[in-house]
Amino acid sequence: MPDILSTQYINSSDYKSVEDKLKTLKDVCDDLTRKQETARKLRYAEVDIEAEREANRLQPDELYVPQHTIDTNIRREQSSYIQYITQSPRAVITEDLDNPANDMELLNKDLTKKLRYEGWQLPMFSNVDGFQANGYNVVEVVLNLNNSGELGVEHVSNGDFGFISDTKDIQSCEFTCRCYYYTRTRLLALCGDPEQPNPENDFVRFQVEKIIGREPDTNPTEATDAKDKSLYKIYKVMYRINGVVNVAWCCPTTCDDWVRGPRKLYIGRRKLVYPPTVITTEQQNQYIMQIVLPILLQGGGAQQIPSEEAYETEFPYIVYPYLISENDVISQLKGRIFLDQDLQEAVSSLLSSVVTQARRAAGLYFSKNVEDPNDDLLLQKNIFFKSGCLINSKVQAFELKAPDPGMFSAIQLLLTNNQNETSQTNFATMNRKDSRKTATEMLVSQKQEQILSTVQVVLFSIALTQMYRTMVGVIKSRVLSGLIKCNQLVLPLYATRFSVKPSGDVDVIERQQLLQLMGQVWPIVAETPIAMAFLSDFLSLAFPERAAKYLMILNQAIQQQQSQQTQMMQQGMMMAKQMADGIVSLSKKPEMFSETGKIHALPRLEMAAEQIENIQSQLVNNKTQ
């Protein structure tokens, strides 16, 4: 029996010292896998109707109508999370800690290209679905040199991630493990080339042969036939030795030693090798700006910038919780499967009963119209009546009672209350069937949906921030080490001290609030000189992908209008000049006026002509100056 008070496993790389811990983790993972399979059956309501009838749990005329309330609620909430991570054109927003006024947009765009590699959405979508269903989910940050940022994110199913059940903070765990499923071919390939062995990276062939020498493990699809099973489960374990995370591979109960021994965890983080005189943080920053940055700007690489591998002191796992409560134990977090399973069963049961009753009530049943209880001796049973046949006895026809219409209202009430509980008041309003559903109520429900959706992604934002900070820290270290090439305009920004947060906080949540406010004040702004600038900002926020097209059309219309006004002004000025020249010319020809005109009209023309000449003289002087 293992000694639970033993401390031999601490900081030990010896397999025998940590074997009991590994077996405990294996049991935890196996238990979580079984719970996960049960949870999936609940979510998708997997019921074999024919098998239930064969087992006499369903009558031949009964019908079970499974409802998918759990899955429906999960899908209704997913749009808020998916919108948060995909709607923004940027992945992160950075801010210079030393100079907040510094424009970091080029860095934001460059980091977005590195964080949003090809296929980045798939693990994040699986992660969202996982923590909604189960209450929490885990992703792992891994080194992947094929991606632009040389990092990747992998989704870890709840049934494949093991830790001690009373854990409150994943970084405080002594041991964590992740399950992997490999075929025989893949396991043997991981052993490397026997002629060119690499003990540091290769799996131990002797231990692998023990694994593939037994039957494959039950795969996640629960195959019932041995020929449908090809996967072997092995475990990647992480634990700290002297404060540094080590990673090892094992298969407890099958192997008697490591499948691959512990080694320090490296996910790509680099550490610059500073001269002995560089000690303080300020001196290190000066060294980066004065020595490292000029080398990078001149096209220098890793050969000219001394750096070394930096090993992780934190597990590369990020936990995404669905809800938060006073109970902060990770394994006690609950998701929609736990919260909706009883309602789903109740609605399925009620609806199945109503449908079965309606099917039975739709039939026509007969009995002999006699009072003698023994009249049916030796009588043939289960006779089917046909039209036009002669019946040699009096019979009585009857029908079963149809289901009460109130049952449908009861089912609808359960669903409506569930939508209120899941903060989907807008769905509850839309689904309520009565005449009191007013336009005001629908408007309030839509506003409430926006508020609730904003609150809903706050926990998601916190975990996403932790993941992005880990990834950006590794990327920055590799850029400054010359391992990742960047545009020369971006390199000085990587050398600064900056903070990182998800762009969804600004581009989704704050943007929605700003759009709502701008829509409210537009009637006031529309008649002011700032109307066009305001409209340009509104279009850019509301339609970031199409705003350029709309603004181009708007600017063309404005330029065309200004051009027409300019032409009209030029024509008006030409006409005014012609009239002014005529007045000046006419004022210098008094012989063209009668005696009365010389007294009344000519003085006024001469005065006007003098004013015109003064104005023309001033215009000429202004041009010469």
DSSP secondary structure, 384-443, as one string:
PP-TT---SS-EEEE-PPPPPTHHHHHHHHHHHHHHHHTT-HHHHHHH--STT--HHHHH
What is the dihedral angle through the alpha carbons of 454, 458, 464, 470, rounded to the nearest 10 degrees? Answer: 140
Tell me, what's the pLDDT at 187? 94
> Which residues does 361 contact at the CB level (< 8 Å), separation at least 6?
399, 400, 401, 402, 403
Tell me, what's the pLDDT at 510? 65
**Residues linked to residue 241 through DSSP beta bridges, in sequence order:** 244
* Tens digits of residue pLDDT in 45-56: 878 888 888 888
> Which residues does 364 contact at the CB level (< 8 Å), separation at least 6?
397, 399
> Distance between CA 188 and CA 204 in Å, rounded?
10
Strands, E, within 452-550: which ranges?
498-502
Contact 136, 127 (CB under 8 A): no
C-alpha separations of 603 from 220, 310, 595, 611, 612 in Å? 108, 97, 12, 13, 14
> Distance between CA 584 and CA 606 in Å, rounded?
7
> Distance between CA 2 and CA 24 in Å, rounded?
11
Contact 204, 260 (CB under 8 A): yes
- Cα–Cα nearest to 272, from 476, 566, 128: 476
C-alpha separations of 265 from 170, 316, 431 in Å? 16, 9, 52
What is the dihedral angle through the alpha carbons of 455, 456, 457, 462, rounded to the nearest 10 degrees? Answer: 80
Contact 478, 494 (CB under 8 A): no
Tell me, what's the pLDDT at 308? 93
Tell me, what's the pLDDT at 438? 52
Q: Which residues of the chain have pLDDT under 70?
A: 1-4, 218-227, 372-385, 420-456, 505-512, 544-545, 622-625
Q: What is the CA radius of gyration of the chain?
A: 39
Tell me, what's the pLDDT at 430? 39
Tell me, what's the pLDDT at 436? 46
- Cα–Cα nearest to 267, from 120, 150, 350: 150
Other beta carbons less than 10 A from residue 259's beta carbon:
24
> Distance between CA 206 and CA 188 in Å, rounded?
10
The angle, 0 to 180 degrees and rounded to 10, between the axes of the packed helices 531-542 and 511-525 is 150
Contact 138, 333 (CB under 8 A): no
> Distance between CA 310 and CA 269 in Å, rounded?
5
What is the token pair recorded at 350? Answer: 């009620």
Listing DSSP states for 432-447 in one string gives --STT--HHHHHHHHH
What is the token pair recorded at 483? Answer: 């391992």
> Distance between CA 610 and CA 620 in Å, rounded?
15
The angle, 0 to 180 degrees and rounded to 10, between the axes of the packed helices 406-421 and 336-361 is 170
C-alpha separations of 422 from 67, 172, 323, 382, 438 in Å? 17, 32, 11, 50, 22
